[in-house]
Homo-oligomer: A and B are copies of this chain.
C-alpha cells in the first residue's frame, strides 16, 4: 500500500474541507492503520458526561474518510453511502476518544473501512463502526 497523503496534508485538507469540526480532531498515525483522536469537549457530551452517539458516528466517519484519502489523495466529493455502528459500552467521562481505522476495500467506485473507538487508555472498545464511501469518477 502506497500512501498519497501524510498526517500533515490530511490535517490541512480537514481544515479546509471541514472548518467547523477540524479543530476537534488530531490525526495521530497514518499508515496501514490510521489513528485519530477526538478532543472531547462540552459540545460532545450528553447529560451524565458521556459522549453522544452522533459524536462517535462523526469520529468514525472522519477517521475512515481520512484513511481513504490517505490512499487516493484529496477527493472532497467522496460521500458516505452506508454506515453501521455498534455502541458497545459507555465511554469513560472526561477522556478523549481514539478511533483506530483500517481500509477493507478500495475499489473504483466504492471504498469500505471500519473503525474501533476507544476511551483513551482503555483496552476494550466503546464502539465499532463500518462505513462505505462512494468515490466520484475522476
A130 in contact with B132 (CB, 8 Å): no
Q: Would you list 20 pairs from A and B whose C-beta atoms are within 8 A, ordered by A residue?
A: A19-B47, A53-B58, A53-B80, A53-B83, A54-B61, A57-B57, A57-B83, A81-B110, A82-B82, A82-B84, A82-B87, A83-B84, A83-B85, A84-B85, A84-B130, A86-B112, A86-B130, A86-B132, A88-B105, A110-B134
Residue A100 CB within 8 A of the other chain = no
What number of A residues sit within 8 Å (CB to CB) of B?
41
Q: Are B61 and A47 in contact (CB under 8 A)?
A: no
- Across the interface, name the chain B residue whose C-beta is closest to A84: B84
Best-surrounded residue of A20, A90, A105 (most CB of chain B within 10 A):
A105
How many whole Å from A8's CB to the nearest CB in chain B?
Answer: 21
Contact of A17 with B by CB under 8 A: yes
> In the complex, which residues 39-97 of chain A have their Cβ closer than 8 Å to any Cβ of chain B?
43, 45-47, 52-55, 57-58, 61, 79-90
- Whether B79 lies near A82 (C-beta < 8 A) is no
Asked if residues A116 and B104 are in contact (CB atoms below 8 Å), the reply is yes
Contact A134 B112 (CB under 8 A): no
Contacts of A88 in B (CB 8 A): 104-105, 112
Chain A 99-138 residues near chain B, CB threshold 8 A: 104-105, 107, 109-110, 112, 114, 116, 124-125, 128, 130, 132, 134
